[in-house]
Amino acid sequence: MDTFEQHYFKALGLIIFLLAVIVLQTAMNRGFSIDEFEHIHSAWYIRQGYTPYSDFFQHHHPLLWCLLLPFLHVFGHSADILLILRFFMFLMTLGIALLIYLVTGRLVAAGPISSDKPMRQSKEAGLLSVVFLLSTVMFVVFGIQIRPDIPQVLFGLLSLYFLIRFFGEKKNSYMVFTGFSASISFLFLQKTIFLLIAYGIIFVYKLLRREISFKPVLFFSISFLAPLSLFLFYLFFSGSMNDYILTNWLLNMNFARDDSFSLFLTLNYYILKDLLLWLFSFLFFLSLVRNRKKTAGVVNITAFICLVLLATLFLIKRPWGHNFLFPLSLLSILAGYYLHHIILKFRLNAAYRVLIPVLILLSSGYFLLERCKNTNRAEIERANFVIQNSTESDLVYDGKNRFNLFRPDLHYFWFSLKKSHGLDTYNRLTNNRFGDYDIRRLIKTKKPKFISDFRIDIKKCGLNTLYRKTPYENLYIRIDPK
């Protein structure tokens, strides 16, 4: 490796390091999503011996909560767990970046390489893809949150990596790892089913063209079903199978019927901030259409999976930014791959090769730095206030997941109470099983230690004589006789 290449790769490494620091600062300082409180609270429920789906409402798969249990055991019941788990999510995001690097390198190595330095090319393309990923504002904002989407994407990418290795080396062991990783991804989040749909189309196409035999598909199926079978056994023996089907599938398919929005509502907010990623991704697909017969098969496979995942965003009724995480990961691979292709095609000199990743960093740098500002300190203090001023047996009403991490709730439905969301959808599917749900009555009869003013008017309900405001927004504490 000559002197320029050494300095060039050091520059790429420095840019990635700076981006990683920005991502870490965002993780430690950015305000918390209500979903993050939801998942920590669900993990706490399991640690208390509750069975998900039958004992408390949830409509996500459970593997994230199991993953969080050791942290609750080691670090105890403090709101500081929010920052500890944010750091854990940051490490997973770095894992995603590593897989982006590895997958991109595999795609470059599989294609026509007009150079005697294939290792350098794979490394360069991989690093460029990581620059794209970690400079994507939408990915950073949602990729640091404590939610199942991050490990779902991590294991989904791991599955893709092994699939690419299978098609390159034809070893059935790689197909075993492909299926197993996809199963773990699915146990984190149901949305992996969209990846499985893409896999199914690819397998059928390859089988019909006799490019693969049925044996590796069988290996994939068995390895996928093995972890899934353990989960199904747990549901059956815990008696929560029916509740699982109802809450995780029937309810989700009918969720928020009157409260949906287009993916463009989310995309429009971020697309200009991430313009270079979308531009190079578009140029990649344009080039693919023109040269698809010359493109390596694994590149076409990756592009197809990306298109399937992008298309499924149109099927999601409420496509928030976290739904874009997997497609954005694949787009960063394709954008890095195409940028590397441009560098080779036009034989860009040293100055341009260094300038391009710098421009990628600068294009979104302001928006990334803006999200590093500390906006979560008050939220941590509010959650700690609830913990410190209540006992483990004190009930809490937190209808919007803003402060309750480690205290029991008033009802099976403890979140997703907004009109046409979880509770309403559940009642519509169960002949109004919880049609008598009345949060005002529950508060007056069960007298929780803390309540939120979510969906209730404290004064009109006559609760102002029972509860007083705390120094924290939307949080009220019970007035106990002295």
Query: How do residues 9-44 score in pLDDT, each as one tens digit?
Result: 999 999 999 999 999 999 999 999 999 999 999 999
Residue 312 near residue 194, CB atoms below 8 Å? yes
pLDDT of residue 1: 56
Q: In this structure, what token pair is assigned to residue 157?
A: 């990418």
Instruction: Tell me how far apart the alpha carbons of residues 230 and 249 are, in angstroms, rounded to a whole number.
Output: 19
The percent of the chain in helix, strand and coil, each rounded to the nearest 5, is 65, 5, 30
Q: Does residue 135 contact residue 368 with C-beta atoms inside 8 Å?
A: yes
CA distances from 241 to 66, 105, 225, 264, 416 (A): 18, 42, 17, 36, 21
pLDDT at 114: 46
Q: What are phi and psi of 56, to 5 degrees?
A: -150, 150
Beta bridge partners of 396: 450
Distance separating alpha carbons of residues 14 and 2, to the nearest angstrom: 18
Rounded Cα distance between 400 and 450, Å, is 13
Instruction: Give CA–CA dist 125/430, Å, rounded.
Output: 52
What is the distance, to the nearest Å, from the Cα of residue 313 to the centroid of all Cα atoms in its chain?
Answer: 14
The strand pairing partners of 467, in sequence order, are: 478
**Which tokens belong to 179?**
């299926």
Q: CB within 8 A of 78, min separation 6: which ones? A: 384, 387
Please report the pLDDT score of residue 112 as a whole number: 60
The full length of the chain comes to 482
Which portions of the chain are predicted below pLDDT 70? 1, 112-118, 293
Say if residues 48 and 111 touch (Cβ distance below 8 Å): no
Contact in structure between 454 and 400 (CB atoms under 8 Å): yes
Q: Which helix (H) or strand (E) is 432 found in, with range? A: none
Please report, for residues 97, 107, 188, the alpha-carbon distance to residue 154 in angstroms, rounded to integers and kept in the order given: 9, 18, 10
How much is the pLDDT for 474?
A: 93
In 3-state terms, what secondary structure has residue 472? coil
pLDDT tens per residue, range 150-162 = 999 999 999 999 9
Spell out the residues 6+ positions from residue 122 whose beta carbon is closer than 8 angstroms to its own: 104, 105, 106, 108, 109
pLDDT at residue 470 in the model: 97
